[in-house]
Amino acid sequence: IDFLEFYARQMLQIKDGVPVNSRPNEYNRYDYIPLGVGIIISPWNFPLAIMAGTAVAAIVTGNTVLLKPASTTPIVAAKFVEVMEEAGLPKGVLNFVPGSGAEVGDYLVDHKDTRFISFTGSRDVGLRIFERASKLNEGQIWMKRVIAEMGGKDTIVVDSEADLELAAQSIVASAFGFSGQKCSACSRAVIVEDVYDQVLNRVIEITKEKSTGNPELQETFTGPVIDQSSFNKIMGYIEIGKGEGRLVAGGTGDNSKGFFIEPTIIADLDPKARIMQEEIFGPVVGICKANDFNHAIEIANNTEYGLTGAVITRNREKIQQA
């Protein structure tokens, strides 16, 4: 609902274009126009919010949409299309096109009548779309536009002047909520050495209090990961982590009745370790030590991803610096 309202209000603002400078004897205008047919490729991890938001943003600005949801979560998107038609959206404006990325996705991206692609998902798929969209296909008379929101390797920096309980609670909530399956999850924590042991021990304590299991139960904190291939990938990263650092919590998985992985903490990592650099997309957090605040910020910046992050400190000057 927030997304629908946001884009509707944005449209009210931009419908008249934006003011531009005019001189005597000339009148300049800058108007926004719809592009045409857009391909919306949405992710499985927020199967309603992101899918609905990206589809509606394109529709409210006057475009028609081919919606290709993630192949693991098509039913949510199908229901959304039904609801939009029930709300009065004319048939044919929003078109439901489920299928595998390799089969349906490539076809839609390559098609000569595709005008733009709005994608949310992994870095590798995003780069593939960007490359394919840049090629001119026979009969195509425009350059396709690509909007791509891809992965993250998000850092929580904990300063020596921080509220340490807040820091520990924040790391656990962000790293293991949704089983870490969001590009905005905290997948690495950088803690200044003066408070490193204290924060790490508290993070371990809180993590061990959390239960993993059926997400329908209120007391469950961490549910399963999405599927077998995701389970295999995350368990593979845990093995890498055992070699790169010290496993201090979790580390085990059970795929006998679902794809459950215990919240896992790997400590004492080198800032350049794979666990600190690569997107895992599961309930795994890497933790490393910084000499001081400046060093912590340097480590936070040493990634090719730039999505979200947090700095926890009580010192306002350090917040400004960050």
Strand ordering across the sheet containing 246-249: 246-249, 264-267, 284-290, 186-192, 154-158, 309-312
How confident is the model over 241-253, as pLDDT tens digits?
Answer: 999 999 999 999 9
Residues 230 and 301 in one domain: yes
Please give the tally of structural domains in the chain. Answer: 2
Cβ–Cβ under 8 Å, residues 241 and 284: yes
How confident is the model over 224-234, as pLDDT tens digits?
Answer: 999 999 999 99
Report pTM: 0.92
Residues 91 and 63 in one domain: yes
| Pairwise CA distance, residues 310 & 240, whole Å | 26
Specify the pLDDT at position 306: 86
Residues 109 and 160 in one domain: no
Specify the pLDDT at position 239: 98
Residues 124 and 200 in one domain: no
Specify the pLDDT at position 185: 97
Residues 26 and 114 in one domain: yes
CA torsion angle 76 82 87 88 (round to 10): 140
Residues 190 and 74 in one domain: no
Any catalytic annotation for residue 149?
A: yes
Residues 188 and 71 in one domain: no
Residues 215 and 119 in one domain: no
183, 186, 278, 279: the catalytic one is: 183
5, 26, 149, 239: the catalytic one is: 149
Regions of the chain with pLDDT less than 50: none
Residues 54 and 192 in one domain: no
CATH number for the domain spanning 188: value is 3.40.309.10
**Which domain covers residue 129, as residue numbers?**
2-149
How would DSSP label each residue in 225-292? -S-HHHHHHHHHHHHHHHHHSEEEE---EE-SSS-EE--EEEES--TTSHHHHS---SSEEEEEEESS
Residues 60 and 110 in one domain: yes
Phi (first) and psi of residue 148, to 5 degrees: -130, 120
Residues 119 and 196 in one domain: no
